[in-house]
């Protein structure tokens, strides 16, 4: 049984994800009812009016005019929209199931495993480049000798107090810029063969 024009128009707009048709009463005559339907096709809003012996008939005729326009100027909307491409399809218990490409899944798992190993390697390397406790003690002793708190030293080199704390505890990753600023603030070499010696003697 063929669907009535109103249902058919509704089905087309829903399947193609178009704006829902809008119906409203329009000017009629003494004996006929008027109805106007508005649809949106490819960004263009179009209205169709029709007359009928009652409201239902005028609405159906307006929908029929809209369908005739679609058949004439936008015939592709009369067909179901194309299905999205499937990577692979398998039958499960008589039903059709969409399955992801197993090879792409395997490649992703391998890639994730490599990323994890690389991250672990980089983390291990960072552990080896942290400042040692010897340098940490040297910074702490030089700071105490200069009668500076961690906060005072941090303020002088424009860094946070936590940075000084990390260096003194041997947790920090060496930064040449930070070390140079601390050397100038403390007046002591912190690295190299002159570590622990006053700066002015080895300029």
Which pLDDT belongs to residue 147?
A: 92
Distance CA(194)–CA(147), nearest Å, equals 22
Which pLDDT belongs to residue 126?
A: 46
Question: What is the overall mean pLDDT for the chain?
Answer: 80
Q: Tell me the pLDDT tens digit for each residue of 64-94.
A: 999 999 998 888 888 888 877 655 444 444 4
The pLDDT of residue 1 is above 70: no
Distance CA(77)–CA(59), nearest Å, equals 21
pTM over 0.85: no
Specify the CATH number of the domain 133-202: 1.10.260.40
Tell which phi-psi region holds residue 116, choosing left (phi > 0), alpha (psi between -120 and 50) or beta: alpha
More confident residue, 90 or 170: 170
Q: Tell me the pLDDT tens digit for each residue of 106-159.
A: 555 656 666 666 656 655 544 445 667 788 899 999 999 999 999 999 999 999
Which pLDDT belongs to residue 175?
A: 85
Please say whether the structural domain 5-78 has been given the CATH code 3.30.160.20.
yes
As a whole number, mean pLDDT of residues 161-165 equals 91
Tell me the percentage of the chain whose pLDDT exceeds 90. 32
More confident residue, 119 or 21: 21
Domain ranges for the chain: 5-78, 133-202
Q: Exposure string (b/e) for 188-200, b if CB count within 10 Å is 16 or more? A: bbbeeeeeeeeee
Q: Tell me the pLDDT tens digit for each residue of 45-61.
A: 898 999 999 999 999 99
């Amino acid at each position: 049984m063929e669907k009535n024009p109103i249902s058919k128009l509704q089905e087309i707009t829903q399947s193609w994800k178009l704006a829902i048709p809008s119906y409203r009463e329009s000017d009629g005559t003494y004996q006929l009812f008027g109805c106007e339907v508005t649809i949106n096709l490819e960004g263009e809003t179009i209205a169709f009016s029709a007359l009928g012996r009652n409201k239902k008939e005028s609405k159906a005729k307006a929908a029929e005019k809209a369908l005739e326009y679609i058949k004439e100027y936008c015939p592709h909307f009369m067909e179901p929209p194309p299905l999205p491409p499937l990577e692979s399809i398998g039958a499960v218990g008589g039903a059709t199931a969409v399955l992801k490409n197993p090879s792409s899944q395997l490649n992703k798992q391998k890639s994730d495993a490599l990323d994890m190993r690389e991250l672990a390697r980089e983390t291990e390397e960072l552990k080896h480049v942290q400042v040692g406790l010897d340098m940490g003690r040297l910074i702490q002793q030089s700071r105490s000798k200069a009668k500076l708190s961690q906060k005072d030293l941090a303020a002088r080199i424009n860094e946070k107090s936590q940075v000084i704390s990390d260096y003194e505890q041997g947790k920090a990753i060496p930064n040449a810029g930070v070390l140079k600023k601390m050397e100038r603030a403390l007046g002591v070499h912190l690295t190299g063969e002159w570590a622990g010696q006053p700066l002015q003697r080895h300029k």
